[in-house]
A and B are shown apart, each in its own frame.
Chain A
Amino acid sequence: MKRQYIYLLILAALTIPLFLPLGLKHQVTDEVEKFYQTIEDLPPGSTVMVSFDFEASTIAETKPLAQAVLRHLFSRRISVVSLSMLAEGTGLGHSFLKEVADEFGRKYGADYVFLGFRPQYQATILGLGEDFAKVFPQDYLRNNLSDLSLTQKVRNYEGISLIISVADGDLPQYWVDYAQTRFQKPVAAAVTAVMATSYYPYLSSGQFSGLVGGLKGAAEYETLLGKAGLGSKGMEAQSLGHLMIIALIIIGNLAHLRTRKKI
């Protein structure tokens, strides 16, 4: 089969469900349920730290993940102190945070704060455990942390009930290594599908309080929230994409068998 036909088939499989939804149901897995329950168990008024540890290339997966998690937090009146460990995640993280906070009518400075980006994540994670204001004297919008009511109340990890890393790489591991080991803070991760398998050992060892993996995880989370979003929509496209790839593998193998028999 010519390469161009394969590309056309994949294009059709990925785009058709975006325009003609299939209405597929998502079975919620234990790891996503655990993540959801961890947030459900936090008392209203708690503060959670959300770190946007991803780059622009994985936005198709990280945006639905971040949105689902932030919707859950804001719907439960949980305050969010947020930051990014990667430069590209800064602009994206800030806009996702603002978008969801506006949806729930949350106020900047009182209900949520975006600290911004600092390079060298080991030193940043360790430094935040001592004093937020030492690592970030000003937030992303150039406000002094001492002027914002949320960061007046929460000054280091002591005021943080849970750390969530929305990531496309190995940053959640650093949160475990430095924030959990040194400051005993629970860590949960919402990661791209390709990274999820790497983190199953952390989940089973109890180092992660929950794991949401890829579009599938985002779609499951949206099912738990009772509101379909980008995850559910994208998952239908991914379903057909996977089916198409499996069909192509079978066709390729059948063709291979036929040529072998002829020889």
Chain B
Amino acid sequence: MLLKLPLIIVAVFGLFMLVQFFVEAPFLDHTYQEILDWVQIIYLFTLWVGAINLIKLHLKKSTHKKEAPYSVVTLSGIVIMLFFGLIQGKEVGSVFDWIFKNVQVSLQASMFSLLAFFVASAAYRGFRARSTEALVLLSVAAIVMLGRVPIGDLISGLIPDFANWILNFPSMAARRGILIGIGLGTVATALRVLLGIERTYLGR
């Protein structure tokens, strides 16, 4: 029963959402509204589970000598942000907002910016024309890179045109193929979940 109950819930609610999309009826609309509310309520509880799990994990780690400083920073961050958020709110100009913009945003933007340096270094070391295919790839990448910046247009007006052609035809054709594949895969997985064949979400 413990296994069957979640499978029944998934099948019933999944089929209901599928049917109500195509059928217009007031009683279906009402139930649909209720389900949307429930989805958000359940999701909020999963956030709590995540937060509690994170706190428990770092409380445990804070006793280990080597990992303790990182865990202390994480736990302090949670407590400080929670404290200022609850006491003062999160509007522009609040302490919460100040810490968010000057600590979290700066740190995350810096981490992401480092990519430019790593990409440059990796391109220098790894982007080699070892075969005809690699040479084609290399040339196309260089044209798109130049075509996507105004300097490309300064060198030749043909570069942005060619870059746009690459994006609008060969690249789009490949992308469409991938999207169709994803779409078919999603439908197949959804059917497997509704029919109870796919059970990985139950941890099986």
Contacts and interface: CB of A to CB of B under 8 A. Distances in A.
A120 B43 contact: yes
A56 B108 contact: yes
B150 A249 contact: no
Contacts of A27: 150, 153, 160
Given A120-B39, A130-B36, A249-B124, 5 more contacts: A25-B150, A200-B167, A216-B148, A239-B151, A246-B142
A29 interface: yes
A197 B175 contact: yes
A3 B121 contact: yes
A153 interface: no
Nearest to B171: A197
A233 interface: no
Given A24-B154, A235-B149, A119 B43 contact: yes
A125 B184 CA distance: 23
A7 B142 CA distance: 20
B40 to A, nearest CB: 5
B124 A1 contact: yes
Interface residues of B, number: 53
Most chain A CB neighbours (cut-off 10 Å) among B37, B44, B112, B172: B112
A124 B40 CA distance: 8
Interface string A1-28: 1010011011100100000000011110
Nearest to B138: A249
Interface of B: 21, 33, 36-37, 39-40, 43-44, 47, 89-92, 97, 100-101, 104-105, 108-109, 111-113, 116-117, 119-121, 123-125, 127-129, 138, 142, 145-146, 148-151, 153-154, 160, 164, 167-168, 171-172, 175-176, 179
B100 A238 contact: no
20 contacts: A10-B116, A10-B117, A10-B120, A24-B151, A27-B153, A59-B105, A91-B101, A119-B40, A127-B37, A135-B40, A141-B91, A197-B167, A240-B151, A241-B116, A243-B149, A244-B120, A246-B142, A246-B145, A249-B127, A253-B129
Given A60-B109, A119-B44, A253-B128, A245 B150 contact: no
Interface of A: 1, 3, 6-7, 9-11, 14, 24-27, 29, 55-60, 88, 90-92, 94-95, 98, 118-120, 122-124, 126-127, 130, 134-135, 140-142, 182, 193, 197-198, 200-201, 204, 214, 216, 219, 235-236, 238-246, 248-249, 251-253, 256
Contacts of A182: 21
Contacts of B150: 24-27, 219, 235-236, 239
- 8 tightest Cβ-Cβ pairs between the two chains A and B: A239-B149, A24-B150, A57-B112, A120-B43, A123-B39, A57-B108, A248-B124, A56-B108
Contacts, number: 152
Contacts of A244: 120
A123 B89 CA distance: 26
A56 B108 CA distance: 6
B59 to A, nearest CB: 23
A253 B141 CA distance: 14
A56 B113 CA distance: 12
B92 A251 contact: no
Given A182-B21, A204-B172, A245 B43 contact: no
Nearest to A128: B36
Given A10-B116, A57-B111, A200 B172 contact: yes
Contacts of A14: 116
